[in-house]
């Protein structure tokens, strides 16, 4: 577990309190996003996720803990920007190197689950998450376009919610279902992976919190899908057998 001084413990506080820097209600200065839903189901092909449902839930603000991003120029937006700047400016070369080396893959959780938790040893799991990751990439694209928050540091594209954070917490949520005894370590790894995006200066803290909320939501959308559940059961059996063998061999 890595902590970052003097902001190393902030991310633990942050994940409990970030709603303080997110907008609570639309106002004349902060109008609600357009409720006109594009025909995403016709534009993009997915395996397990219904993109139109996701868009409708975004417009209805029906996703738990996922609030609109801070409005530019408000105190909450300034707090969000200052925290990002402080974390980025305080990061050491070692911390930046570790953040850059963070692998954006479910198999990076081998850090917690052991070396047998790999694409090579888990072909059914890999095949399932190749499809899941394709679906999630489209869902993140829709959410980012919906909120339209520009990236920091004059980077192109949108940043809310963070895609890396969304995937980190989606994987964490699903893996905790399989390995409940490793819940604390898996959640901590997801938080560190997500906070790395702030250390690198590529996201605001509010983006990370939104990614957490969106990732948990998408995980539940997958678990509610019968086709996913069928493939997920086979993947779970494969993961459990492989991780158990890793523990015995270790």
Q: For the chain, which domains are there?
A: 72-249 (1.20.144.10)
Distance (Å, whole) CA 119 – CA 108: 10
Residue 68 has pLDDT above 70, yes or no: yes
How is residue 220 written in tokens? 């539940």
Cα–Cα distance for residue pair 72/206, rounded to 1 Å: 12
For the residues 96-112, what does the mean pLDDT come to? 93
- Average pLDDT of every residue of the chain: 86
Inter-residue contact 178 to 239 (CB < 8 Å): yes
For 76-85, what is the mean pLDDT? Answer: 94
CA–CA–CA angle 81, 19, 1 (5° rounding): 75
Total residues found in the chain within this entry: 250
Contact of 170 with 176, CB cutoff 8 Å: no
Sign of the four-CA dihedral 156, 140, 73, 96: negative
pLDDT at 81 over 90: yes
Per-residue pLDDT averaged across 96-119, rounded?
93
- 155-194 pLDDT, tens digit per residue, is 788 999 999 999 999 999 999 999 999 999 999 999 999 9
């Amino acid at each position: 577990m890595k902590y970052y001084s003097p902001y190393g413990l902030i991310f633990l506080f942050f994940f409990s309190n970030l709603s303080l820097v997110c907008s609570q209600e639309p106002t004349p200065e902060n109008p609600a996003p357009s409720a006109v839903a594009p025909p995403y189901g016709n534009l993009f092909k997915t395996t397990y996720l219904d993109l139109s449902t996701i868009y409708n839930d975004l417009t209805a603000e029906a996703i738990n803990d996922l609030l609109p991003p801070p409005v530019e120029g408000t105190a909450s937006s300034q707090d969000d920007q200052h925290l990002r700047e402080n974390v980025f400016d305080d990061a050491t070369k070692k911390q930046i190197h570790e953040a850059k080396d963070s692998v954006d893959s479910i198999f990076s959780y081998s850090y917690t689950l052991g070396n047998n938790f790999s694409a090579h040893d888990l072909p059914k799991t890999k095949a399932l998450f190749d499809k899941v990751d394709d679906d999630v990439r489209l869902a993140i694209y829709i959410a980012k376009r919906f909120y339209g928050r520009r990236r920091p540091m004059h980077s192109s594209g949108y940043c809310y919610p963070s895609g890396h954070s969304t995937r980190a917490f989606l994987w964490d949520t699903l893996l905790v279902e399989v390995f409940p005894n490793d819940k604390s370590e898996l959640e901590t790894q997801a938080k560190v992976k997500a906070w790395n995006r702030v250390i690198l200066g590529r996201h605001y803290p509010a983006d990370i919190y939104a990614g957490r909320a969106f990732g948990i939501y998408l995980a539940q959308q997958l678990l509610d899908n019968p086709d996913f559940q069928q493939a997920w059961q086979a993947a779970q059996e494969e993961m459990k057998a492989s991780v158990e063998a890793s523990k015995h061999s270790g």
